[in-house]
Amino acid sequence: MKEAHDFLIIGSGFGGSVSAMRLAEKGYRVLVLERGKRYTAATFPKNNWHLRKYLWAPALRCFGFMGINFLDDIMILNGSGVGGGSLVYASTHIRPGQAFYEAPEWRELADWQAELAPHFDMAEHMLGV
């Protein structure tokens, strides 16, 4: 079977999923490739004791959702599965508390609570929060 696509998105994380959605909304045929699997509430690891279900390290025959990359001076965690990096965050979505908006580093730049509220509303709606 041969299928044609207008766009190929590598990874279904935050960036890939939004890009795919926006392109599909415009009528493009989009294919999303993900190296991991799709998790459900029943299949998502409940703890990290079972490394093979938790860690993504194919060389060690571990095919979980948490990938770890070591560079010179940094360690990077990444998601391996449908949802990408959101899997690493345990698929949580939390609005910042008042102290975040009142932080002296940026409180004078804008009314961030009002500025960000519609975006949080949209994300919650789209994610089913």
Amino acid making up residue 107:
R
CA distances from 20 to 13, 23, 38, 106 (A): 10, 5, 17, 32
pLDDT, one tens digit for every residue, the chain (129 residues): 688 999 999 999 888 999 999 999 999 999 999 999 999 989 888 888 888 889 998 988 999 999 988 899 999 888 999 989 888 876 677 899 999 999 999 889 999 999 999 999 988 888 777
Backbone angles phi, psi at 100, to 5 degrees: -60, -45
Token pair 């940094």 in the structure block, residue = 74
Q: Rounded to 5 degrees, what are φ and ψ at 79?
A: -90, 145
Q: How far apart are CA 17 and CA 19, in angstroms?
A: 5
pLDDT on residue 1: 63
